[in-house]
């Protein structure tokens, strides 16, 4: 049986990462300081995001998704990059792999980046595959559903641009303007696969760390889903140091060489200062 490493101090983690090539994997914990709730942080109630199979099951599920997401997007689009996002842009790792769909890393200035699960700011038609902006769809939905946002202004915000709302039966959907097909946010739902080219780019960056003596830093992810955990497993198998910074337990804790229970923004700001 492999035992999880003992939690390390801040100085030890910073010292390990001070001069090495880095690949950074981020999760929802990086965006909580921007006001976007996470799925699995300490004290968070269990959440069951809509699966792809449920979404494509018919208009009822699609109304439920888009009604909630319409309200959530109206709030989420106002979120701004926080100090952790800005620190990562300054660090400019060999590759930034993010499980987040909020686009805040890009807005903070990160460019060597793979958005594993896509971006909530884009919408794709399931029929013709035309990609359009979420902002334009939001305007169309506002016209089709006058007063909807005002009637539900008090509902609780949930992760990834969702809200806690059951009253969705009268929500009017918008179809693709090109072909009339069903619109879906251009993100990877539970039950979908991350596109292979994204995965391969990330594997290549993680593999290169073994040759350069680099390290993999996980910041703000519980690693509950395989889309992120696979890179931790890959690095650990190659003998690459893995540093996990997260307030709650993670599925990769037994693979980490260094485990720090801390907020991601504070840690990333200090790491950027050490590497400046």
Please report, for residues 69, 137, 172, the alpha-carbon distance to residue 143 in angstroms, rounded to integers and kept in the order given.
15, 10, 10
The token pair at 231 is 């890179």
Q: Is 117 a catalytic residue?
A: yes
Q: CA 241 to CA 244: how far, in whole Å?
A: 10
Please report, for residues 88, 192, 236, 263, the alpha-carbon distance to residue 207 in angstroms, rounded to integers and kept in the order given.
21, 25, 10, 27
Q: Is 176 annotated as a binding residue?
A: yes
Closest CA to 220 of 272, 262, 271: 262
Closest CA to 252 of 221, 214, 207: 221
Contacting residues for 161 by C-beta, under 8 A, at least 6 apart: 69, 72, 73, 75, 76, 101, 102, 120
Q: Is 125 annotated as a binding residue?
A: yes
Of 70, 117, 186, 258, the active-site residue reads 117
Q: Is 30 annotated as a binding residue?
A: no
Residue 193 neighbours by CB distance under 10 Å: 9
The token pair at 261 is 């229970």
Tell me the catalytic residues: 117
Tell me the binding residues for Zn(2+): 125, 128, 176, 179
Binding residues: 125, 128, 176, 179
């Amino acid at each position: 049986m492999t035992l999880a490493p003992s939690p390390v101090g801040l100085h030890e983690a910073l010292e390990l990462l001070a001069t090495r090539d880095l690949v950074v994997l981020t999760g929802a914990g990086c965006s909580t300081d921007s006001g976007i709730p996470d799925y699995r942080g300490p004290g968070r109630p269990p959440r069951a995001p809509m699966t792809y199979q449920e979404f494509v099951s018919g208009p009822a599920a699609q109304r439920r998704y888009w009604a909630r997401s319409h309200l959530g997007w109206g709030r989420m689009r106002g979120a701004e990059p926080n100090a952790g996002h800005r620190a990562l842009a300054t660090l400019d790792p060999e590759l930034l792999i993010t499980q987040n769909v909020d686009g805040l890393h890009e807005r903070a200035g990160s460019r060597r980046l793979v958005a594993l699960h896509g971006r909530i700011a884009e919408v794709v038609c399931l029929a013709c595959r035309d990609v359009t902006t979420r902002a334009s769809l939001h305007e169309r939905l506002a016209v089709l559903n006058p007063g909807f946002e005002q009637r539900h202004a008090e509902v609780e915000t949930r992760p990834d641009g969702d809200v806690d709302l059951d009253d969705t039966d009268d929500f009017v959907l918008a179809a693709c303007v090109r072909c009339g097909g069903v619109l879906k946010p251009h993100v990877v739902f539970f039950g979908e696969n991350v596109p292979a080219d994204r995965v391969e780019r990330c594997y290549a960056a993680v593999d290169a760390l073994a040759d350069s003596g680099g390290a993999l830093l996980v910041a703000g992810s519980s690693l509950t889903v395989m889309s992120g955990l696979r890179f931790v497993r890959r690095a650990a198998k190659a003998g690459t140091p893995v540093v996990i910074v997260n307030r709650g337990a993670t599925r990769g804790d037994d693979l980490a060489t260094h485990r720090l229970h801390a907020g991601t923004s504070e840690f990333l700001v200090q790491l950027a200062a050490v590497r400046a």
